[in-house]
Amino acid sequence: MNGIAEFRSTVIDCPDPQALAGFYSRLLGWPVAVDEGDWVVVTETGSPMRLAFQRADDYQPPVWPSRERPQQVHIDTTVDDLDKAEEQVLALGATKSEVQPSEDGSFRVFLDPAGHPFCLTVGD
């Protein structure tokens, strides 16, 4: 280890950890590894990469783009086919953001069921 610490998790506040973990589990194909009610973790088997979801009773979703309630966190994902992936994430419960900053169509912004932005990008 060269740094002071090692990466452990990206933690996302939300009103319903099981529901949001289920969404990302299906999106990424990672199983739910820990479910303690107010704390749920999804991870790729055998990988140190983890997403954790913790209950925040006073949760207010981000408004993207906004300075009043900024995005808090966002995840970029790589896909082979943007149109197909868009259809699939919408079926999982995502919504497409009204703001799409990519003029060339190289990525698309969606909101997860708790309102966090995430991007689908075309793989290289």
* Extents of the domains making up the chain: 1-59, 73-124
Contact 97, 54 (CB under 8 A): no
Mean pLDDT, rounded, for 5-12: 76
CATH assignment of 1-59, given 3.20.20.220, 3.30.720.120, 1.10.3720.10, 3.20.20.140?
Answer: 3.30.720.120
pLDDT, mean of residues 81-99 = 92
The pLDDT of residue 12? 92
Query: Percent of the chain having pLDDT more than 70?
Result: 91
Q: Between β-strands 107-111 and 117-122, what pairing exists: parallel, antiparallel or unpaired? A: antiparallel
Query: Model-level pTM?
Result: 0.75
Compute the average pLDDT of residues 88-104: 88
What pLDDT shows up at residue 15? 94
Residue 1 has pLDDT above 70, yes or no: no
Mean pLDDT for the chain overall:
86
pLDDT at 3 over 60: no
| Cis peptide upstream of residue 15 (ω within 30 degrees of 0) | no
Domain range 73-124, its CATH number among 3.40.50.10070, 3.30.390.10, 2.60.120.10, 3.10.180.10 = 3.10.180.10
Whether the predicted pLDDT of 4 surpasses 60: no
pLDDT-derived band at 124, boundaries 50, 70, 90: low
